[in-house]
Structure 1
Amino acid sequence: MEIIRSQEFTADRAWGAKDIANMSGVTTRLHWTDKPYIWHVNDGEEVFAVMHGVVKMLYKEDGETKSEILNAGDIFFASVGTEHVAHPQGEARILVIEREGSI
């Protein structure tokens, strides 16, 4: 049993993470960041939940780049093949649930 206070979590580098669980190959990790990630496509589905802060999520749909502002409590679901990149607007804490070994 563990209680994690997501708003208090920090890491020593952007996108540093705390491993929370691995359930049959699906990982749950809490990330801290203040810098953008890289454009990528996961090798499975991804659930991206903003716990604290604001994140500008860019993604490609039908070859067109789109974006959405995600606030604390918002969730982005990347289906298989969705190219995307997260740009935090300052510090952010994000819960990511994805296949183990995904980018």
Structure 2
Amino acid sequence: MSQKIIRSKEFTAGRAWGALDIATMGGVTTRLHWTDQPYKWHVNDGEEVFAVLDGTVDMHYRDAGEAKQVALHAGDIFFAGLGCEHVAHPRGEARILVVETEGSV
């Protein structure tokens, strides 16, 4: 199949952070995640683009050792560069498009 049409607002998963694999291109994966629970503090194996498609997510991150937080709403994007420790806490249900190195946490 050479195309996919994904209606992100219709996607749900059987567990928090369940994902629909959309594409893997040149070692980079694109996934649609559904969640209603926080993730865990982590550092990705590479850079990460985190785009909120539906819902609101409080993104906690550390910048030069200082804990910070930003509210991300539908349409907002968070870029986690190399070494950026972060954790996402959705407020209720959220759908998030994540682009990251294949096999990353």
TM-score (structure 1 length as normaliser): 0.99
Q: Secondary structure at the match of 1:7?
A: helix
1:76 to partner: Cα distance:
0.1
Structure-1 residue corresponding to 2:92: 90
CA offsets 1:29-53 (integer angstroms, 9 cap, x no match): 0000000000000010000000000
**Partner residue, 1:25:** 27
TM-score, reference length from structure 2 = 0.97
| Alpha-carbon displacement from aligned partner over 1:44-79 (angstroms, at most 9, x marks no partner) | 000000000000000000111000000000000000
Q: Which of 55, 58, 61 lines up with 1:56 in the alignment?
A: 58
Runs of 4+ with >3 A deviation: none
Number of aligned residues: 103
RMSD: 0.3
Q: Deviation at 1:2?
A: 1.1
Structure 2, unpaired ranges of 5+: none
In the alignment, structure 1 segments of 5+ residues that lack a partner are none
